[in-house]
Structure 1
Amino acid sequence: MSESKISNANFPDEIICDVLSRLPVKSLLQFRSVSKHWRSLITDTHFIKSHLKKAESISSHHRILVPVSPILSLDYNVSPYSISSSTELDCKFIKPWNSGKLLGSCNGLVCLIDGRKDISIYNPSTRRHFKPLQSSQQAVRHSPNESYQTEFVYGFGCSSNSIGPRVFRFPRFARDSESLVYDFIDTVGTFLNGSLHWLARYSNNDGEHRVIALFNISQDTLSDLSLPPHRPHQPVLPYYALGVLKGCLFALCDGINHTGIEVWLMKEYGVVNSWSMFIKIPLDNGIGYMRPLSCVNDDEIVLEIDLQSYAIYNAKTKTLEHVKSVHNLKWFGDAAVYVESLLSPEVSCVLY
């Protein structure tokens, strides 16, 4: 069929765009070659936003990025108990990766930092990357007389009224507008609802407190949220990880005597009283660490186990089944869930 016949088909652009917006990125990249008109539709900013919005609600468009070498993109939706659909991503722009780290994902983009402390923004779906900040620009010292480099924590996210993410970098000890100094525990922030979140601690006349340090991207402000409340007649359990599950902020803590982990969800964002224990997962068979990544359905949760494997926990049957993979993942560090997107990786970097 000639390009003129495709362009003059009896389908309004609105219908064509609606159909195309439900397709995976791989198909859309191929369909850009159908005609100049289709290329124009698929590369349009409004279409990219529409596709992203739909992809976020379609679980088959979600994948796990595993920071091994080469980096892997895993599809856990084809068969949750056997991750056989995986893609090796040749990220030659990251060197060396054996000391690299994922700094988060947002709108289909992932933020990576390599062993030289160079930051890269990467779209695993389009294979495009961008380096907003080089290591030579990061050597910030407290004063000319100090011989050590400032410790930093990082965040990657966007404001609630924009799809364009930014990279944020804070000193480990950061001050809010009321001169309260937070000592960040997390080195990587969790992005949700236009804000970045880190576990942190601060001290005052009442002693040391552990909270969630919150940076509102739109308002450019640093504040805090309370962790789930301490329950009467039980010892204080340390919260050691944050994340997002079912669209809610979650906090992890050890169970009593390290027998399991408790996953607490903030059902209503920003409302401390909405903290609720979502699930308790037993730690057995030598497992020392686990972290929820995503929900396969209402009952099954994908877990990262000891930074080297995956498992599916069924909340209804209370069973844990390890996931088979075609790759020997070995030790890989924290993975990240991302959504397929056409978004450009060219983002800005903000230093504080």
Structure 2
Amino acid sequence: MSESNPTNAYFPDEIISDILSRLPVKTLLQFTSVSKHWRSIISDTHFIKSHLKKAETLSTHHRILVPVSPLLSLNYNVSPYNTNSSVQLDCPFIKPLNTVKILGSCNGLVCLIDGRKEITVYNPSTRRHFKPLQISQVVDFSNESNQIEFVYGFGYSSNPINPKVFRFPRFARDSESMVYDFIDTVGTFLNGSIHWLARYSNNNSKHRVVASFSVKKETFSDLSVPPQEPLLPYYALSVLKGRLSALCDGRSYTDMEVWLMMEYGVVNSWSKLFKIPLGNGIGFMRPLSCVNEDEIVLEIDLQSYAIYNAKTNRFKGVKSVQNLKWFGDAVVYVESLLSPEISCVLY
């Protein structure tokens, strides 16, 4: 294809666009140099949305972002011994030896905060980043030096290319009478809302609820956790198979149970997906993503990753990362061409 003849004599643009939308981001970035016409197709907003929609349905376009220094991207769809299974990301916006915490992942964009309370929205696939603001240290109104604790969320209401960053005090009021005491510091985004495990701080109940914040309405509401025994705590929320997921101890404390809310917002629709054994020295695990109907990607003891097969009851290693426990939880992100320049809202 020559620059003098940008149109293709054999394929209409619709077919070219459909073919390109199935390719990984790395290849598409290389293809922007083929011609001005291809660059125009790949940078078009409609194409970016189409590519994202296809990528979300393919586990081969999903990767794990590990908050070590430098950031590490893991491909859990290949052998851990494959040289392409992990890639160190050169992030000049992260200062050397600075700790980084991931605040959420949304449509291929990842929200990060460092030890200086500086927020960055980053696209690991395109390597583009944007710093929407710097959060200064916030001190309460007393004369004491205690700093206010915050929880964070990252998501969008209706436009997937315009996500927002939210920050709340750990004790966030949902009405005039009830106040949430957040258990999670990072929210889970699904269906236009951000979700945290929480309990009510102004009563004696230890019962946990899911605090759901609507990005569009900017209001809180409650979702119930699965109908388990009250003394069995819920440790983590995630999104699996496009549904809200909750992790809890099994009744015998020798396994972990993964539950799915099959119909969003309907308490009676909670269904147990997997029961995963805690043997072989495993102390804690957290589900990250489903590979297929029988396999789930797990973060184990904050420093390694494995795929658990429910049919064979076996673990398959993906990658071990030393000293990850000092940095925090990893997230799964989808390969995307989305720009990281977004808005930020603080509360």
TM-score scaled by structure 2? Answer: 0.93
Question: Could you tell me which residue of structure 2 aligns to residue 183 of structure 1?
Answer: 181
The alpha-carbon deviation at position 66 of structure 1 amounts to: 0.9
Aligned CA distance change for structure 1 residues 222 and 83 (closer, same or farther; 3 Å):
farther
Count of matched residue pairs: 345
Question: Which of the residues 331, 336, 345 maps onto 2:324?
Answer: 331
Specify the alignment match of 1:272 in structure 2: 267
Judging changes above 3 Å, is the alpha-carbon distance between structure 1 residues 8 and 238 closer, same or farther for their aligned structure 2 residues? closer
Q: Distance in 1 between matches of 2:244 and 2:97?
A: 29
User: Which amino acid is 2:223 matched to?
Assistant: L
Is this contact kept in 1: 2:69–2:99, CA < 8 A?
A: no
Paired residues of 1:177 and 1:221 also in contact (CA < 8 A) = no
8 Å Cα contact 1:80/1:296 also seen in 2: no
Out of 150, 169, 172, the residue aligned to residue 170 of structure 2 is 172
Q: Deviation at 1:257?
A: 4.6
Query: What secondary structure, in the 3-state scheme, does the structure 2 residue paired with 1:3 have?
Result: coil
Going from structure 1 to structure 2, the CA distance change for 1:19 and 1:321 (only over 3 Å counts) comes to closer
The amino acid of 1:269's aligned partner reads Y
Correspondence 1:219-230 to 2 at 5 A: 219-230=217-228
2:157 to 143, 156, 159: 159
Partner of 1:118: 118
How far does residue 222 in structure 1 lie from its aligned partner after superposition?
1.0
- How big is the shift at 1:147? 3.5
Secondary structure of the structure 2 residue equivalent to 1:22: coil
| C-alpha distance in structure 1 between counterparts of 2:161 and 2:127, whole Å | 19
Partner Cα separation in structure 1 for residue 37 and residue 84 of structure 2: 36
Is the contact between residue 80 and residue 317 of structure 2 (CA under 8 Å) also seen in structure 1?
A: no
Q: CA separation in 2, counterparts of 1:270 and 1:174?
A: 21
Tell me by how many angstroms 1:161 deviates.
3.9
Whole-angstrom distance in 2 between the partners of 1:174 and 1:78 = 42
Partner of 2:33: 33
81-90 or 150-159, which deviates more: 81-90
Could you say what secondary structure the match of 2:208 adopts? Answer: strand
1:86-121 residue CA offsets vs partner (Å, 9 max, x unmatched): 111011212355532111100000011111111111
Unaligned runs of 5+ in 2: none
Corresponding letter in the other structure for 2:274: I
In the other structure, the counterpart of 1:131 is 131
In structure 2, what is the equivalent of residue 281 of structure 1?
A: 276
Q: Which residue of 1 aligns with 2:235?
A: 240
- How far 1:322 sits from its partner (Å)? 3.1
What corresponds to 2:308 in structure 1? 313
The residue type paired with residue 87 of structure 1 is V
Q: Which residue of 2 aligns with 1:143?
A: 141
SS state of the match for residue 167, structure 1?
strand
Post-superposition CA distance 1:221-255 (Å, at most 9, x none)? 11111111135xxx620111111111111111112
Q: Which residue of 2 aligns with 1:198?
A: 196
Is the contact made by 2:6 and 2:36 (CA closer than 8 Å) also made in structure 1?
no
Measured in 2, the distance between the counterparts of 1:248 and 1:88 equals 30
After superposition, where does 1:61-100 map in structure 2 within 5 Å? 61-79=61-79, 85-95=85-95, 98-100=98-100
Q: Does 1:294 align with 2:292?
A: no
Q: CA–CA distance in 2 between the matches of 1:348 and 1:312?
A: 35
CA distance in 2, matches of 1:80, 1:279: 24
Instruction: Please give the root-mean-square deviation of Cα atoms over the aligned residues, in Å.
Output: 2.0
SS at match of 1:77: coil
Q: 1:23 to 1:84 in 2, by over 3 A?
A: closer
CA distance in 1, matches of 2:83, 2:278: 23
Q: Write the distance in 1 (CA, Å) between the matches of 2:204 and 2:322.
A: 45
What percent of counterpart residues are identical? 75
Aligned to 1:256: 251
Matched with 1:322 is 317
- Please list every run of 5 or more consecutive structure 1 residues that lacks an aligned counterpart in the other structure: none
Output the CA distance in 2 between the equivalents of 1:81 and 1:268: 39
Whole-angstrom distance in 2 between the partners of 1:97 and 1:129: 19
Q: Does the aligned pair in 2 maintain the 1:152–1:172 contact within 8 Å?
A: yes
Report how far residue 139 of structure 1 moved. 3.1
SS of the residue aligned with 2:312? coil
Q: Distance in 2 between matches of 1:25 and 1:289?
A: 33
1:178 is displaced (CA, Å) by 4.5
